[in-house]
């Protein structure tokens, strides 16, 4: 016993563990020998072991958490208040050496593995970190009495978009924050229209409410940083009477890693990542930015994408560059792009078997973006389905050639577009009468790929009428 007599010991047990029950005689002998120098902590049933008096109730797992207990039984030696050594499980020789007690547990088997500590049960670590770890959450805490329905409490405080939200409890928020390397109090930017500072923690709270899994959170942060890029003009986009709102397009390896949908029904419902990443952005501008429909959000009609509009690119065709690659990134980069979009306009072309016909066909539909007579004002994002993409690929066209053909097919004499032409008052000012005009500004038509492998359909996502430098431009944000 010599040097041991100056040490303090802690033994952590769990009744549910067969090895802990097996070593009860050893624990008893240690308790008798060490007396006040040993404290026995019990994780599940403080009456265990019944033959030993003076156990410490650790059912709250505070000691286990602070001492990082992974396995029970664990025996720790403290010298001068600091841990000097620990052993776990049951290994008779090891315990005898550790305690310098040669006869200790001689009646027991040589070896039995321990069991997992309760403090390491699935999900428990995050809860304990919030409870005991001083996980510094700066957000105001609201206590919702049990007599109140928590879901309804979120509605009543105006935190939702009309659909239920996941209540942002401290544990859920801690789990979300743990999925990012960034510190909770870092300010990611000021959110319009109130330009209220948004910490990583506030973003995490809203991502929880949107229904995100923690692994989506880095994508949410990239989307948020993209939305805050000056050329995206998130403020104006929120305030406009027009339909538009952010469309989030995720390219690169991250989309597969987190299970996003780029295939069947890619622009529709059903995929958690698609649905909740887009929704996070909308909840952030509503809750942090103060951009509420009917308040600063003055949309005449809005569009269903204002709940959420987010999809992954189909990158199954290695030869076809992704939207992110069009913006200068590589296939290996995970990139979030944002486009100010106004819902979906379908294009059906089941007859075109060559690129020339299909390009003209797509152009004919693109002509109506915002208005058939309004040119150079509204960008568009064309989402090519795999079957339409195949027509171009089999015809030997690359993306640049597709774009060029669409621009060519849309080039129109100004006299057909000016106000009054065709008996339609809407149109371009008279000054454009003698010019030939492109439908889209030079960087105003973007092409992404998504969709199921059956269906000769593509989608036009019309942009905001305030496109370009005076309004919103497509932005891309690489994930770090």
CA–CA separation, 323 vs 338, rounded Å? 11
Question: What minimum distance in Å lies between the beta carbon of 172 and other proteins?
Answer: 9
Is residue 7 within 8 Å of residue 39, measured between CB atoms?
no
Tell me: does residue 202 bind other proteins (CB under 8 A): yes
Question: What minimum distance in Å lies between the beta carbon of 475 and other proteins?
Answer: 23
Tell me: does residue 164 bind other proteins (CB under 8 A): no
Question: What minimum distance in Å lies between the beta carbon of 290 and other proteins?
Answer: 7
Question: What minimum distance in Å lies between the beta carbon of 130 and other proteins?
Answer: 9
Binding mask 258-297 toward other proteins (x if CB under 8 A, else -) reads: -------------------------x---xxxx-------
Tell me: does residue 140 bind other proteins (CB under 8 A): yes
Tell me: does residue 180 bind other proteins (CB under 8 A): no
Question: For other proteins, which is the closer residue by CB, 109 or 197?
Answer: 197
CA–CA separation, 251 vs 455, rounded Å? 22
Tell me: does residue 141 bind other proteins (CB under 8 A): yes
Is residue 300 within 8 Å of residue 447, measured between CB atoms?
no
Pick the stretch among 103-111, 163-171, 215-223, 404-412 that binds other proteins (CB under 8 A): 163-171
CA–CA separation, 200 vs 180, rounded Å? 9
Copy the structure tokens of residue 337.
């792009």
Question: What minimum distance in Å lies between the beta carbon of 180 and other proteins?
Answer: 16
Task: List, as own/partner pairs, every contact residues 125-130 make where C-beta atoms lie below 8 angstroms and the sequence separation is at least 24, other chains included.
Answer: 125/65, 126/171, 126/174, 126/175, 126/178, 127/171, 128/61, 128/62, 128/65, 129/65, 129/174, 130/170, 130/171, 130/174
Query: Which sign, positive or negative, has the C-alpha torsion 12, 13, 19, 22?
Result: positive
Tell me: does residue 223 bind other proteins (CB under 8 A): no
Q: Candidates 94, 137, 229, 265: give the one binding other proteins (CB under 8 A).
A: 137
Q: Candidates 108, 115, 124, 153: give the one binding other proteins (CB under 8 A).
A: 153
Question: What minimum distance in Å lies between the beta carbon of 161 and other proteins?
Answer: 12
| Bridge partner residues of 76 (DSSP) | 10, 86
CA–CA separation, 105 vs 122, rounded Å? 32
Tell me: does residue 206 bind other proteins (CB under 8 A): yes
CA separation (Å) from 298 to 156, 333, 351, 462, 463? 22, 36, 41, 19, 17
Q: Is 469 exposed, middle or buried (0-12, 13-18, 19+ CB in 10 A)?
A: exposed
Question: For other proteins, which is the closer residue by CB, 36 or 146?
Answer: 146
Question: What minimum distance in Å lies between the beta carbon of 329 and other proteins?
Answer: 32
Is residue 271 within 8 Å of residue 322, measured between CB atoms?
no
Tell me: does residue 205 bind other proteins (CB under 8 A): yes
Question: For other proteins, which is the closer residue by CB, 49 or 289?
Answer: 289
Residues that bind other proteins (CB under 8 A): 137, 139-146, 150, 153-154, 156-157, 159, 167-170, 173, 191, 194, 196-198, 201-202, 205-206, 209, 283, 287-290
């Amino acid at each position: 016993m010599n040097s041991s007599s100056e040490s303090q010991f802690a033994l952590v047990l769990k009744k549910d563990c067969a090895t802990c029950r097996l070593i009860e005689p050893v624990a008893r002998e240690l308790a008798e020998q060490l007396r006040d120098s040993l404290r026995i902590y019990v994780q599940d049933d403080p009456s265990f072991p019944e033959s030993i008096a003076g156990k410490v109730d650790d059912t709250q797992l505070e000691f286990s958490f602070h001492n990082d207990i992974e396995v029970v039984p664990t025996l720790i030696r403290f010298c001068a208040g600091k841990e000097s050594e620990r052993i776990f499980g049951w290994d008779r020789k090891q315990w005898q050496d550790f305690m310098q007690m040669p006869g200790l547990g001689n009646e027991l088997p040589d070896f039995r593995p321990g069991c997992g500590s309760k403090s390491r049960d699935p999900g428990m670590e995050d809860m304990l970190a919030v409870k005991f770890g001083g996980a510094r959450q700066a957000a105001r805490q609201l206590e919702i009495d049990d007599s109140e329905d928590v879901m309804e409490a979120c509605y009543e405080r105006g935190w939702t978009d009309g659909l239920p939200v996941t209540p942002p409890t401290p544990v859920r928020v801690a789990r979300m924050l743990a999925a990012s390397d960034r510190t909770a109090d870092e300010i990611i930017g000021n959110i319009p229209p109130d330009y209220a500072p948004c910490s990583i923690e506030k973003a995490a709270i809203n991502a929880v409410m949107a229904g995100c899994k923690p692994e989506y959170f880095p994508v949410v942060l990239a989307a948020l940083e993209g939305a805050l890029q000056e050329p995206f003009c998130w403020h104006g986009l929120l305030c406009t009477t027009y339909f538009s709102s952010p469309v989030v397009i995720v390219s690169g390896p991250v989309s597969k890693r987190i299970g996003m949908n780029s295939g069947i029904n890619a622009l529709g419902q059903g995929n958690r990542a698609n649905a909740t990443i887009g929704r996070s952005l909308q909840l952030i501008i509503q809750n942090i930015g103060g951009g509420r429909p009917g308040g600063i959000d003055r949309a005449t009609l809005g569009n269903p994408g204002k709940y959420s509009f987010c999809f992954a690119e189909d990158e199954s065709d290695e030869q076809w560059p992704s939207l992110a690659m069009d913006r200068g990134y590589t296939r290996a980069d995970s990139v979030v792009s944002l486009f100010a979009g106004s819902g979906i306009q379908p294009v059906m072309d089941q007859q075109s078997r060559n690129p020339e016909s299909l390009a003209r066909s797509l152009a004919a539909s693109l002509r109506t973006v915002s208005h058939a007579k309004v040119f150079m004002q509204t960008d568009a994002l064309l989402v090519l389905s795999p079957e339409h993409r195949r027509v171009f690929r089999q015809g030997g066209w690359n993306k640049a050639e597709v774009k060029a053909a669409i621009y060519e097919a849309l080039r129109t004499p100004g006299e057909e577009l000016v106000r009054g032409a065709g008996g339609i008052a809407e149109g371009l000012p008279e000054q454009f009468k003698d010019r030939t005009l492109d439908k889209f500004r030079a960087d105003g038509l973007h092409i992404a790929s998504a969709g199921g492998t059956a269906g000769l359909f593509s989608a036009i996502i019309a942009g905001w009428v305030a496109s370009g430098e005076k309004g919103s431009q497509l932005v891309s944000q690489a994930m770090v």
